[in-house]
């Protein structure tokens, strides 16, 4: 790894920076900006000034952003057109039969990203056996004219069975690229898998966010060059980094880029030998300004999925398996029509922010509640520069208490804290209990600006006995960018009963996919290649992905699948197994940064009253960077640093690990 590298993660409220210079870790947090590159450059300049290095001296720059996910959540992406096979114009709108609210007679499907007037058909026919009717180029040119007249800013092309035989789709795309001056995304390049709806939906998402990603990454690359910085390498949803040009061509890879970086950082910093022996793994808990993300790390590996969804829209690109809830530090507390206290999903964002930011916000948020409870002090400066307005927080909470009919504002504050924790507890149950895992056998890794304030209370409610707060917890997603490997994925559908699979044919597919991913990484000779297969029992609708080793063997593949099926669902069946997809991943490993941790000086800053479940305590407040390794503190305790605050309630102890991580456990009775 280069000696001087920087990682920058853009969140909804703050932009986080980690800079590693000659073994010393420097962190910074600045407000996010409308033009995200402004916050990125400001954060880098701040971190460089603190580290005493010039931006031009940096040797690596990794970046995670929210451009694509914001476009999807806010439905602010490009005006997109869709070109598809005649008769399949409405696949995007019909979707699947399943409904999230089965008995809701008024349930509505999400509005398609491409309205019907911008969906165009071409007369062609391709089956799984090959092209039966070639596309007519004159017809495609006519479609191009119609697309131009529609004002489309991007085009998605998804023809029937193009995953198996993309010849017609390639020709359509070639003509459209000749005729139109807009980006064109094709399904065989975005997602070479069967299932028309998911393939079409994923290709549309790629087209929908591609202009924004292209503009942003291109603009950031120019600003980096002007500042003497290296060209940015971008975090993908799969937890690996890649070059900027790759994501400009395939923008869907950037969805959930930031949360993926956080999980990678947690996996890199959470464990040591003692942790490995004490737990089955970790639940990662990232609470930022607008949302909280949870994921699972088992046996040292980050859980991944190819069945993602954002804003009720399927995205079948490989991604870190993250569950998100709308409860962050900036989430607004409100009272519903029935008088119940609710948290989120509305957020105060960075501007105006929580009431205590003093920027004109008046709505009560989780951050305001934490200030009133005493977990954050009125003298605390978030990010080292943002001072807090305690009276504004009290006023906002007082308004909430009045709306809820409560006489005691402190009780309303406790309610905000409890409801926020309940929302996040449900998310943790969804990645543990609902998947057959006992959360009591896992530790909890807390990070993000607000996560360490809530983590121990959440762990208590789940009977989890170990909470780890890594040293760079407030900016851990940015740290994860320094620890992330380079990754490239490729997939191809090959549907066959496993018993009928021609092993040589499958080996040929894997060889082609291997060549594809190796051509896309920076160091093909240094890359490791992993092979997996998506398998299912005959009659099942969806698959499980299992490793198949370097040489495909039908019997071994079946055994691995049945073991995985029993682990996931509790049983195995005496039924035929079908192969569906072949997958290959190339990984160029990067060493985890070796960060020195030294502490000096008196860590005790003073005391303040803090409210816990069993009453108000005069609670000591410590400076985190002055806590020496090996020291143990009994709760209650509050441990502060610029980017986050750790809250240790009564009956818990916290110990400083050699690397500066804080490990909280239930204290001795």
Buried b (16+ CB within 10 A) or exposed e, 454-466: bbbbbbbbbebbb
> What is the edge-to-edge ordering of all strands in the sheet holding 184-186?
119-122, 80-85, 154-158, 184-186
**CA 659 to each of CA 270, 286, 538: distance values in angstroms, whole numbers, following the listed order:** 10, 20, 50
The structural domains of the chain, with segments of one domain joined by +, span 4-72+214-254, 77-202, 486-588
**CA 261 to each of CA 236, 238, 364: distance values in angstroms, whole numbers, following the listed order:** 8, 9, 30
Is the predicted pLDDT of residue 354 greater than 70, yes or no? Answer: yes
Contacts of 177 (CB under 8 A, 6+ apart): 184
Question: Is the Cβ–Cβ distance between 256 and 69 less than 8 Å?
Answer: yes
Tokens of 362: 């008046």
Alpha helices in 180-256 (DSSP H): 187-190, 196-226, 244-249
The number of beta carbons lying within 10 Å of the beta carbon of residue 301 is 10
Is the predicted pLDDT of residue 293 greater than 70, yes or no? Answer: yes
For the 486-588 domain, the top CATH level (class) is alpha beta
Residue with tokens 């409610």: 461
pLDDT digits (tens, 9 = 90+) for 231-266: 999 999 999 999 999 999 999 999 988 889 989 988
Q: Dihedral of CA 394/398/404/405: which sign?
A: positive
Please report which confidence band the pLDDT of residue 331 belongs to, taking 50, 70 and 90 as the band edges.
Answer: confident
Residue with tokens 């096979």: 85
> What was the pLDDT predicted at 322?
87
> What was the pLDDT predicted at 32?
85
Least confident of 144-153, 251-260, 405-414: 405-414
pLDDT digits (tens, 9 = 90+) for 41-85: 999 999 999 999 999 899 999 999 888 888 887 788 999 999 999
> What was the pLDDT predicted at 87?
94
> What was the pLDDT predicted at 548?
93
Please report which confidence band the pLDDT of residue 505 belongs to, taking 50, 70 and 90 as the band edges.
Answer: very high
Average pLDDT over residues 577-589: 95
The vertex-488 CA angle with 163 and 496, nearest 5°, equals 35
> What was the pLDDT predicted at 145?
96
Please report which confidence band the pLDDT of residue 271 belongs to, taking 50, 70 and 90 as the band edges.
Answer: low
3-state class of 483 per DSSP?
helix
Percent of the chain with pLDDT over 70: 96
Domain topology for 4-72+214-254? Nucleotidyltransferase; domain 5 (3.30.420)
Least confident of 100-114, 187-201, 387-401, 576-590: 100-114
Question: Is the Cβ–Cβ distance between 580 and 536 less than 8 Å?
Answer: yes
Question: Is the Cβ–Cβ distance between 319 and 237 less than 8 Å?
Answer: yes
> What was the pLDDT predicted at 273?
43
Least confident of 260-274, 316-330, 367-381: 260-274
Is the predicted pLDDT of residue 2 greater than 70, yes or no? Answer: no
Is the predicted pLDDT of residue 659 greater than 70, yes or no? Answer: yes
CA distance 4 to 61: 9
Higher-confidence residue of 201 and 280: namely 201
Higher-confidence residue of 623 and 360: namely 623
Please report which confidence band the pLDDT of residue 381 belongs to, taking 50, 70 and 90 as the band edges.
Answer: low
Please report which confidence band the pLDDT of residue 339 belongs to, taking 50, 70 and 90 as the band edges.
Answer: confident
Strand partners, 398: none
Q: What stretch of H or E contains 97?
A: none
Buried b (16+ CB within 10 A) or exposed e, 618-655: ebbbbebbebeeeeebebbbbbbbbbbbbbbbebbbbe
Is 0.75 topped by the overall pTM?
yes
Please report which confidence band the pLDDT of residue 13 belongs to, taking 50, 70 and 90 as the band edges.
Answer: confident
CA distance 34 to 386: 18
Task: Give all strands (DSSP E) within 515-558, no chain letters.
Answer: 528-537, 544-547
CA distance 420 to 427: 11
Question: Is the Cβ–Cβ distance between 470 and 661 less than 8 Å?
Answer: yes
């Amino acid at each position: 790894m280069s000696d001087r590298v920087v990682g920058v993660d853009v969140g909804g409220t703050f932009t986080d920076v980690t800079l590693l210079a000659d073994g010393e870790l420097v962190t910074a947090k600045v407000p996010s900006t409308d033009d995200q590159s402004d916050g990125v450059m400001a954060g880098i300049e701040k971190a460089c000034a603190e580290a005493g290095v010039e931006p031009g001296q940096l040797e690596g720059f990794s970046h995670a952003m929210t451009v694509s996910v914001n476009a999807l959540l806010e439905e602010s992406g490009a005006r997109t057109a869709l070109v598809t096979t005649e008769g399949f114009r409405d696949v995007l709108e019909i979707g699947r039969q399943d409904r999230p609210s089965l008995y809701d007679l008024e349930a509505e499907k999400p509005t398609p990203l491409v309205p019907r007037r911008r969906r165009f058909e071409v007369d062609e026919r391709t089956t799984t056996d090959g092209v039966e009717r070639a596309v007519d180029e004159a017809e495609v040119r006519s479609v191009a004219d119609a697309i131009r007249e529609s004002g489309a800013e991007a085009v998605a092309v998804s023809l029937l069975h193009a995953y198996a035989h993309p010849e017609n789709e390639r020709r359509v795309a070639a003509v459209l690229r000749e005729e139109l001056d807009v980006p064109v995304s094709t399904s065989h390049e975005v997602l070479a898998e069967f299932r028309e709806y998911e393939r079409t939906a994923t290709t549309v998402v790629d087209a929908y966010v591609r202009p924004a990603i292209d503009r942003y990454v291109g603009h950031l690359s120019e600003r980096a060059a002007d500042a003497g910085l290296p060209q940015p390498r971008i975090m993908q949803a799969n937890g690996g980094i890649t070059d900027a040009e790759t994501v400009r061509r395939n923008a869907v890879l950037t969805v959930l880029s930031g949360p993926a970086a956080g999980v990678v950082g947690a996996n890199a910093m959470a464990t040591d030998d003692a942790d490995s022996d004490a737990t089955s793994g970790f639940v990662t808990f990232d609470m930022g300004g607008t949302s909280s993300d949870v994921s699972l790390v088992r046996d040292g590996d980050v859980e991944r999925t190819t069945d993602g969804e954002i804003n009720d829209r399927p995205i079948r690109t490989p991604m870190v398996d993250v569950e998100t809830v709308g409860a962050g530090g900036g989430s607004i507390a409100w009272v519903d029509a029935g008088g119940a206290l609710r948290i989120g999903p509305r957020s105060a964002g960075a501007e105006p922010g929580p009431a205590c930011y003093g920027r004109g916000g008046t709505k009560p948020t989780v951050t305001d509640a934490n200030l009133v409870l005493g977990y954050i002090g009125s003298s605390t400066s978030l990010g080292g520069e943002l001072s807090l307005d305690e009276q504004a927080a009290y006023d906002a909470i007082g308004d909430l208490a009045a709306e809820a009919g409560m006489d005691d504002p402190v009780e309303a504050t406790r309610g905000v804290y409890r409801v926020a924790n309940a929302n996040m507890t449900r998310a943790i149950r969804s990645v543990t209990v609902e998947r057959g895992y006992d959360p009591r056998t896992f530790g909890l890794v807390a990070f993000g600006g607000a996560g360490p304030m809530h983590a121990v209370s959440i762990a208590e409610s789940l009977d989890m006995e170990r909470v780890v707060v890594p040293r760079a917890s407030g900016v851990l997603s940015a740290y994860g960018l320094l620890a992330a490997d380079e990754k490239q994925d490729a997939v191809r559908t090959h549907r066959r009963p496993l018993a009928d699979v021609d092993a040589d044919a499958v080996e040929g597919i894997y060889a082609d996919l291997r060549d594809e991913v190796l051509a896309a990484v920076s160091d093909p000779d240094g890359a490791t290649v992993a092979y997996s297969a998506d398998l299912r029992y005959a009659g099942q609708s969806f698959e499980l992905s299992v490793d198949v080793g370097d040489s495909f063997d039908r019997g071994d593949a079946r055994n691995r699948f049945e073991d995985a099926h029993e682990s996931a669902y509790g049983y195995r069946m005496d039924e035929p197994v079908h192969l569906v997809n072949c997958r290959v991943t190339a990984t160029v490993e990067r060493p985890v940064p070796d960060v020195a941790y030294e502490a000096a000086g008196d860590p005790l800053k003073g005391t303040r009253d803090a409210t816990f479940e069993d009453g108000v305590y005069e609670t000591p407040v410590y400076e985190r960077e002055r806590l020496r390794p090996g020291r143990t503190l009994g709760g209650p305790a509050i441990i502060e640093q610029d980017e986050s605050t750790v809250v240790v309630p009564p009956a818990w102890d916290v110990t400083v690990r050699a690397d500066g991580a804080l490990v909280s456990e239930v204290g001795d009775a």
